[in-house]
Each structure stands twice: as structure tokens, then as C-alpha cells.
Structure 1
Amino acid sequence: MSTKFIASGDCFITRAVPENGYSGFTELKSLIESADVRFTNLEMTFHDQEGYPAAASGGTWAMSDPRMLDEVCKYGFNLFNTANNHSGDFGQEGVMATIKHLKERNLVFAGSGKNLREAARACYLETGEARVALIGITSTFDPAAVAGGPSLDLIGRPGLNPLRFKTYHHVNDEHFRMLKELAEISEINNLRTLKTQAGYLAPLPDDTYPFGKLTFKRTEKKEHNETVLNQADLERTIQEIKEAKRQADIVLVNLHAHEFLGLDMARPAEFLRIFAKKCIDAGASVVIGHGPHELRGIEKYSDGLIFYSLGNFIFQTETVERQPAEAFTNMGLSADSQVGDLMDKRSDGGTRGFVAQKTIWSSILPMWEVKDGKITSVVLHPIDLQQQEPRSRRGSPRPTKSEEILLQLRALSKEFNTEIRIQDSKGYIDMNESK
């Protein structure tokens, strides 16, 4: 017997599904419900102002009525991630309120919890043929949103499961010298110097130099940027995968990540590629990525699959009901402005930003089948989020027969040596071909 999976990217839902659905809804729902395991990323907090707006957000302060969880479920999903850059938009109270509303509905989710142990723990979905585990983690977040572990004297902190990393900028001798000169002139490192002298910070090696929050290394090789995984976060995840592999038949890892290479948002950062492969090595079957709101390539690795980003599924950011004062004042508006004013200003009347970016408004739903622990088939179903519709209806998904998004994904996947065959407006990946 086999188990069928389907997954989507970001679900930023602010509007109910119409009573009688909408064009393409029934077809989409039937597709999703044809799978045993049906995953989406909840890029939203769900509560009725049960948390306080955080000082910083993931962009838009993401809060939706708890009843929107019921609307998400109308699409047929039964497995959810809550670790992303919006998890902490309403502080620890918002985290716990969202968890409360998820549990009231008996929804299976991973990625956040009342402490780090709970946030990092796998959740388990029971299906007819397999028990499936999901671990949720994110590399994109405000530091205040990170879950904390308890000490001997204090309880842990509610929040998300973090994947931290460090960026090193490797520069040649000349640039290293210039960096030091600029630091001395600007006095940007004075506080760090005093903390190091007082013993609160450890001295850095001679070939490493800070510049404010940045860290530079001297190199004799080609100048480049390097991203390095936080070993504690990596090890915690690997151990949880190994435990989940003992307790379930199939393990999934969900990774929410915005980080990219150079100026190309579609290319995942170095540390994300390393992390995803280590997850497969530890026993995960598939790594499901999202975060940049657009597609990234697909990589076959060992016997597993890595979807570096599935883009958007529901993207209704423009019709969020409430925003805090900072959302308006950060855009040069008065604190008593309306949400419509904010959206008009941010998009310059719909001419820039996400609303004008074509790749934001189309994506795929990958469906794959696992038999005896092996992925036997992969089919990619394109979806359209109706960019051409007005704000009031934009962002709701429907199936599409356009092959443009599949051609884009095929081009993105060439970097990973993954071939995508396009036939009858669907994409196919042969898992039997050499990897």
C-alpha cells in the first residue's frame, strides 16, 4: 500500500471562502482531498486581539480571526506549520492564542510551542497506511519570536522553532585593511571593544573582524559570502528527525526561509541547501520549503526531495483587517490611517511590490506518493492566485492549465540537476532517474 501527499506554500488568509465557493475552488479542493497527507504553511496568527502587536513584524502584522482556520480547512488540509517570520507578530500571547485555537479544532501542527522543546517537537498525523511526522522550523524571524528553553529556576518562553545562521564576508587583505580603517573612523565597534575588554565578549581570531553587526574574514582565495548553520539548532533538528523516524513511517521537515544568494531571491542561500540535505541524510523523506513568496527549484537528493520554495497558496495580505500604529508611521502615514491607505502607499497605487510582481501570483501544488518508504511518483499541479483581480478578490488560488509556471520551475530546477517533464499542463519528476 502507498501514501499520497500534497503540499502548498504560504497560506496568508484574511477572507472567508464564499458560501458557494468560487471559480476553480471545487476542483482545487477535490485535488487536495485526493491525498492522504495535505500540508500548508499557516503564515498567520489566529486570534481576536489576544496578543499585543510586537515592535517588529514579518512585514505586515499578520492576525486573522480564529474562524479563518475553519476556512483553511475547507480546502482539505490536515497538516500545518506555524514556524515562520509572522509567528511572533503579536508576541508570546499571540503565539499561545494561535496554539489554543488550533488545538480547539484538533488540528495537527508543528513549529511553535510554549517553550523550545515543544516548538521543536514533531507532530504526528495518522493516516490509513502510514503514521507521518512533521517538524517545522524557520530561519527568518525577529529574535524576540524565538522559543526558549527552561532553566533550573524559570519556565521556557513561547515562540517558534529557530534555524539560526551566521554570515561571514570573506575579503582580501586590502579590503580587510580598509575595513579596519573605516571602523576606526566611524567608531562603529567601540561598544564591542569595551564589552570585550570587560570580559562580556570573547576576542575574535586575528583573521576575523567585526564591523557593527557584520563579521568579515580575511582570505587569500576569491572574495565571497558564507552562511554557516547554528550547530545547536542543526543538532536539535537532526535528533528530532531521528526520533520521529523511530516513531513514524515517514518524516517531513518544513523549512520557512527567505534567505537567498546575491540579488536572486529565487536561489536559496548556501546554509539552506546544506541544512536540507542533512535532514534527508538523517531520515527525512521530503523537505518542504517556502518563505520568499515565489517558487525556488526542486532538488532530488539521495532518495528524498527538497522543495526549496513552493511560493504562495493563499496570499490575501492586502485585506488584513487591522494593523498597529507602527505599520502606518513606518510608511510615513499618520497612526489613525486606514488599512486601505497603507496598502495604497506601500504598492504606490498597485504599481510596485508584491502586487505588481508576476511570480508572486502563481505556484504549484506538488503531489507525491510513498510506497515502502520510497517516493515512487511526483506530479506538479500549477495554480493561479488571480493577480488580475481587484484587491477584494486577489490572492485566492485556483487550478490553471497554463504551463508558464512549470517552465519557470523547470528552469529554476536545472541548477539542481532535476529534470521536470511537462505534459498535459502538469509537471512530472522521475525519481528513478539518476540523481
Structure 2
Amino acid sequence: MVNQKLRHLFSVGFISCCFCLGIGIGIVIRFGQMQRSDAATTPTESLQLPFVLPENQANPSDTITIKAVGDVIPGTNYPNYRLPRFRDELLPKSVRGYLQGADILFGNFESSLTNYPYSAKDVSQGQTFAFRSPPDYAQLFADVGFDVMNVANNHAMDFGPIGFRDTVKNLAAVGIETLGHKNQILYLQANNIPVAMIGFTTYDLYNSVNDLEAAKALVLEAKNNANIVVVSMQVGAEGTGALRVKNETEYFYGENRGNSLKFARTMIDMGADLVIGHGPHVPRAIEIYKGKLIAYSLGNFLGYRTLSTAAETGYSMILEAKLNSKGDLLFSKIIPVHLDKQGIPRIDQRFRTVGLLRYLNKKDFPDNQVKINKKGEIVVMNTQ
């Protein structure tokens, strides 16, 4: 697909990030205007995932399509070398095809794009990991068409403030915006519709899900300046024991990982139109709340020789959501993906993620009006 991005840069504030040792860095975040042409279409026919829109669909020029994936780690060269021979191997052509056709393509980046040699973590301790990927890997994601990467997560500072700054700089150099900086609202023009995006996680270094008052203020400000507000949240415990959505604070190795249900619903209450979750490394249920879509976790998307692919950690997806210029959800679906043993995503003809989500939805939201059919389409049932 031919991507044409016209970026009008302006400063909307100074974003300060301070490292746990008291080291501070300042970053002026750029906000852009993106324009795209749909020279290629998503090859949904081969996967038998028909693109069916409701009868009351708005004019296509009055809509945007957002596609989102979960956690992304494109291999690491620290503390040992775990990278593919060629970086293009990380995203097979079949998967790339399904990432096309979006006005905004989003992912959660959980590595550092830096050559800085010193990690901020002691990886000799159990369950402590630091990931570092070559800076030129940013071009891989630009070639695929990613527009925004979340960097508010527990691996963004694996190589301290220098590694973090390098990651932001290297993504910006190939036209990819970064999301989740403290007090940041990222404004975009997608298909001539003003869109605001805000990223949250569980650490005060970034926008915190545990500071609801500050979060609500950001969403209110965004809603006053954009037609559509998208919230990204890195929240919840991790692993196959963390599949369920609970209305309670979750903990992982003693660390407060927030209350995903309370946070997501509060963001919708304040004006958010779409909430995208990631971090648990497994898929979680999908909810329609007040007519808005909440995807509680998209799971792992790419974890070359870094992330577990056992059981449900290997279940993944591409979430597609079409909204009109008022933020109303018109259509959404799950494109099922499965990670191979190396952590490389493959389109899943067995639809395992779809089956898992249908099961989780029945367990976590049995009375909710959202259903997922066998083709992965998210159907809002008529409750009248």
C-alpha cells in the first residue's frame, strides 16, 4: 500500500520523563497529520473474514479504520544474541497484508531501539528481562505501515533514559509517533478526521492508570479538541493465569498492575471512543460498554525468541475497528494470529484466538450485548 504522510509539526507541551535514579530527560513530542491512500486492500478473502458493514454505515469518507496489535519485541541482542538473520523474517508477507488498509496502525513496543551498552536492569535476577533491538529495526515497522507505537510499558526504560530517548528518536526518524509520555495527548488527522490518542500504564513515570483524576482530565481535554479519542492501556497481571478480566486491582510479583475494568470504563465515561489493552501477554475478553469497544488485551504479537508462545501466550490477533467521525463504532473484527515457536506471528486458519475470546466473553461478560461470531466479527446484539 502506498503511504503518504504530511506532517505539520507543532509543540503542545514539554514532556519530562525521569528515571528511577533521579535522572531526567525532556522530550518535545511531535504531533502529525497523516493522509493515506488505499492502493491495496486487506486480503480478507483468503481467510474468509468478510468485511460486512451495518446497513446504516456512514459515507466511507466520514469514517476511519484503526488496526491494533499487542506486545511487540523484535528480538534482542542483550544479554545474548537472539536476532533473526534478516529482520524482514519477523513479519511474514501474509501477516503484513492484513495490517494494510488502516488509517491508523498501532502496536505496543516493548523493546529499546538503541546501541547503548548498559542496561538499567540486573538481568541476573530471576524474572528480570531487558530487551534491546538494533535501531535500524524501526524501518521494518515503517515499511509495514505502523503509525503509532506505545512506549508506556515496563520495558521502555530497559536501557535507561538514553535508551528510551534513542527509541523515541529512531521511531520518529521513520515517521512513527510514540504514545504514552507523561501528560501527552497525541493529535492526528486520519482521513481528515481529528483523532486524539492517549497512552497509560501503571508507572508514575508515564500517564498512570492508578491516577484516575489525571487520566479523566486528559481524556476530557482530548475530547474537546478531537472528534475521536483512543485510549491505550498497559494494565493487568501477566501469563496464562491472567486470562480473566476482574473488577479489582491486579498484582504481578507484588507490583500493582491496576484495575483494567474500572479504568477502561471510566475512560469511556469521560468521552473515550475506543480502549485498547495490552500487557498481560495473553488475549482477554472484549466488551461493548455504552456503545464503545474495550479490548482488554490483544496478547503478544511479535516476540522473537523472547516471549513465551506456550498455550494462550501464543494466541494473538489483529483488532480492526471502523468508527465514524462522531466516534460511533460501525464495525469491528478479530483477525486471528498465532505465534510460532520462534515468536513470529502467522495468520491462524484454525481461528484459535476467536474461539478463546468467545469463551472468555461468556465467562467475563455473560450479559454483555457483544458477541463474536465464528468468522471473528464482533456483533452487537439487539437487546430490545
CA distance in structure 2 between the aligned counterparts of 1:162 and 1:300, rounded to whole angstroms:
23
SS at match of 1:68: helix
C-alpha distance in 2 between matches for 1:67 and 1:20: 12
> Alignment partner of 2:340: what SS?
coil
> C-alpha distance in 2, partners of 1:376/1:17?
42
Partner of 1:209: none
CA contact (8 A) 1:289 1:307 kept: yes
Give, in whole Å, the separation in 1 of the partners of 2:345 and 2:216.
Answer: 34
* Separation of aligned partners in 2, 1:241 and 1:85: 23
1:26 is aligned to 2:93: yes
Instruction: Encode CA deviations 1:92-144: one digit per residue, 9 max, x unaligned.
Output: 222222222223233212113xxxxxx231112222232221111112x5xxx
Which residues of structure 2 form unaligned runs of 5+?
1-61, 76-82, 249-258
Q: 2:349 aligns with which of 393, 401, 404?
A: 401
Correspondences of 1:84-163 after superposition (within 5 Å): 84-112=153-181, 119-139=182-202, 146-147=204-205, 160-163=206-209
The code of the aligned residue for 2:231 comes to V
* Distance of aligned partners of 1:303 and 1:420 in 2 relative to their CA distance in 1, 3 Å threshold: closer
Q: Quick check: 1:259–1:268 contact (8 Å CA) kept in 2? A: no
Alignment partner of 1:420 out of 346, 365, 371? 371
In 1, Cα distance between the equivalents of 2:323 and 2:335? 18
Among 258, 262, 267, the alignment partner of 1:279 is 267
| CA displacement 1:340-377 (0-9 Å, x = unmatched) | xxxxxxxxxxxxx935x221112111111111421011
Contact 2:236 2:279 in 1 (8 A): yes
- Distance, in Å, in 2 between the alignment partners of 1:19 and 1:43 is 17
Distance, in Å, in 2 between the alignment partners of 1:72 and 1:358 is: 27
Match of 1:73? Answer: 142
Superposition deviation, residue 317 in structure 1: 4.2
Q: Tell me if 1:430 matches 2:384.
A: no
Give the stretch that moved more between structures: 292-301 or 49-58. Answer: 49-58
User: 1:21 and 1:316 mapped to 2: Cα distance?
Assistant: 10
Tell me what 1:359 maps to.
312
Q: 2-side partners of 1:46 and 1:241: how far apart?
A: 29
Q: Say yes or no: does 1:298 pair with 2:280.
A: no
Cα distance in 2, alignment partners of residues 279 and 34 from structure 1: 27
Q: Percent sequence identity over matched residues?
A: 28
Change (3 A) 1:406 1:254: same
1:36-435 maps to which residues of 2 (within 5 A)? 36-49=103-116, 52-55=119-122, 59-112=128-181, 119-139=182-202, 146-147=204-205, 160-164=206-210, 233-259=211-237, 264-269=241-246, 270=248, 271-318=259-306, 354-355=308-309, 357-373=310-326, 374-387=328-341, 394-414=342-362, 415-416=364-365, 417=368, 419-423=370-374, 426-431=375-380, 433-434=382-383
Deviation at 1:21, TM superposition (A): 5.5
Change (3 A) 1:237 1:17: farther
CA distance in 1, matches of 2:243, 2:379: 23
Deviation at 1:395, TM superposition (A): 1.1
Letter in 2 for 1:68: Y
What CA distance in whole angstroms lies between the structure 1 residues aligned with 2:335 and 2:304? 21
Q: Structure 1: any 5+ residue segments left out of the alignment?
A: 113-118, 148-159, 165-232, 319-352, 388-393
Distance 1:402 1:433 in 2: 29
Query: 8 Å contact 2:111–2:132 — kept in the other structure?
Result: yes
In the alignment, residue 12 of structure 1 is paired with which amino acid?
A: I
State the match for 1:11 in structure 2. Answer: 72
Deviation of 1:310 (Å): 0.3
Is the 2:179–2:186 contact (alpha carbons within 8 Å) kept by the matching residues of 1? yes
The change in CA–CA distance for 1:240 and 1:422 in structure 2 (over 3 A counts) is same
Query: Is the CA contact 2:287–2:370 (under 8 Å) kept in the aligned structure 1?
Result: no
Deviation at 1:20, TM superposition (A): 7.0
Separation in 1, partners of 2:209, 2:227:
25
Amino acid across the alignment from 2:354: L
- Aligned-pair RMSD on alpha carbons? 2.6
State the Cα deviation string for residues 252-310 of structure 1 (Å, max 9, x = none).
1111123379x941123422211100001111111100111111101110021111100
Using structure 2 for the length normalisation, give the TM-score. 0.71
Alpha-carbon shift at residue 5 of structure 1 (Å): 1.1
- Count of residue correspondences: 299
What is the TM-score of this pair, normalised by structure 1? 0.63
1:50 and 1:97 in contact (8 A); partners too: no
The structure with the larger Rg is 1
Taking structure 1 as reference, are residues 287 and 2 closer, same or farther at Cα in structure 2, changes over 3 Å only? same
